[in-house]
Structures are given as structure tokens and as C-alpha cells.
Amino acid sequence: MSTPQVVMYSTGVCPYCMRAEQLLRARGVTEIEKIRIDLDPARRDEMIARTSRRTVPQIFIGDTHVGGFDDLAALDQAGKLAPLLAGESPA
């Protein structure tokens, strides 16, 4: 099973985006597709349409919308991040 793609909507100055990236890298993620909504307003609209949220980061692992940094950290604490990164279905 292949590793799912990780996509993160972010801005250049977002401390939570940086923390999310650090956590993902610590869990073995080597590639994160970063979509900079501060550089491309159309991508901000896309993010809002996909997530119904206006804050960054917004993180997708495969087809699963994880949410922001707090959501990502909670998933990790619950032991559910590693299986998701391994391509297993979310519990």
C-alpha cells in the first residue's frame, strides 16, 4: 500500500503550519504539498469550499480532511495518525 499524499493549506508566517509540518516530518512524512493561500487568493477560496474553515493550516492525508494543527496533534495523541499515514482507513 502506498503512502497517501499529504496536502497542507498554509501561509508563510503561520506558526501552527510550521508546528504541523514538524509533527508530520517527525512521523516520517517526507513530502508535503503546501498550498500557500497567502500567495494565491483563489486557493484560499478552494480551501474554504473544501473544508468550510477559514484558518490555516488545513491538512489532508489522502482523501481524509484532518483539520488544523490541534486536530493533527489530537489524532497523533490518540494513536490514529500513524495508521492514517500508512494508508489505512481512519477508525
Cell of 24: 508530520
Show the domain range for 43: 6-85
Query: Does residue 45 lie in a domain region?
Result: yes
- The answer for residues whose C-beta is within 8 angstroms of residue 81's C-beta and 6 or more apart is 27, 72, 75
Is residue 9's pLDDT more than 90?
A: yes
Confidence of residue 90 (pLDDT cuts 50, 70, 90): low
The stretch 75-89 carries a mean pLDDT of 93
* Residue at 39: amino acid letter: L
pLDDT tens readout for residues 36-52: 999 999 999 999 999 99
Establish if 91 belongs to a structural domain. Answer: no
**Residue 14 CA to chain centroid, in angstroms?**
13
Query: Over 90: is that where the pLDDT of 18 sits?
Result: yes
Residue 58 in contact with residue 45, Cβ under 8 Å? no
**Which CATH number is 33's domain given?**
3.40.30.10
For range 15-35, the mean pLDDT? 97
SS (H, E, C) 59-72: EEECCEEEECHHHH
Residue 15 lies in a domain: yes
